[in-house]
Amino acid sequence: MASARWSRREWILSSAQGALALGAALRAPHAAEPGFRIGACDWTLKKRSDPAALELAARIGLDGVQVDLGHPKEGMPLLKPEIWPRYLEAAKKHGVQVGSLAIAVMNEIPLKSDPRPDEWIAGSLDACKALGARVVLLAFFGNGDLRNDAPGIDTVVRKLRQLAPMAEKAGVSLGFESWLSARQHMDILERVGSPALKVYYDVANSHKEGHDIYSEIRLLGKRICEFHAKDYEALYGSGSIRFPDVRRAMDDIGYRGWIHMEGTQMPLGIEESCRRNLQYLRGIFPREI
> Quick check: is 177 in a domain?
yes
pLDDT for res 32: 46
pLDDT for res 191: 98
> Quick check: is 20 in a domain?
no
**Total residues found in the chain within this entry:** 289
pLDDT for res 10: 46
- How far apart are alpha carbons 207 and 44 in whole angstroms? 20
> What is the reported pTM?
0.89
Number of folded domains that form the chain: 1
pLDDT for res 87: 98
pLDDT for res 17: 54
Q: What is the dihedral of CA 102, 19, 97, 180, to 10 degrees?
A: 20
Digit-by-digit pLDDT tens for the chain (289 residues) are 343 444 444 444 444 455 555 554 444 444 445 799 999 999 999 999 999 999 999 999 999 999 999 999 999 999 999 999 999 999 999 999 999 999 999 999 999 999 999 999 999 999 999 999 999 999 999 999 999 999 999 999 999 999 999 999 999 999 999 999 999 999 999 999 999 999 999 999 999 999 999 999 999 999 999 999 999 999 999 999 999 999 999 999 999 999 999 988 999 999 999 999 999 999 999 999 8
pLDDT for res 22: 52
> In sequence order, what are the residues at sequence separation of 6 or more whose Cβ sits closer than 8 angstroms to the Cβ of residue 276?
235, 236, 268
Q: What is the dihedral of CA 246, 250, 255, 258, to 10 degrees?
A: 10
> In sequence order, what are the residues at sequence separation of 6 or more whose Cβ sits closer than 8 angstroms to the Cβ of residue 25?
none
Classified as helix, coil or strand, 201 is strand
> Quick check: is 179 in a domain?
yes
Query: What CATH number is given to the structural domain containing 164?
Result: 3.20.20.150
pLDDT for res 31: 43
pLDDT for res 194: 98
> Quick check: is 4 in a domain?
no
Print the domain residue range for 106. Answer: 36-282
DSSP bridge partners of 103: 138
- How far apart are alpha carbons 82 and 114 in whole angstroms? 27
> Quick check: is 143 in a domain?
yes
pLDDT for res 80: 97
Side-chain half-sphere of 51: how many Cα atoms within 13 Å? 16
pLDDT for res 29: 41
> Quick check: is 99 in a domain?
yes
**Amino acid at residue number 56:** L
From residue 199, alpha-carbon distances to 33, 237, 245 in Å are 22, 24, 19
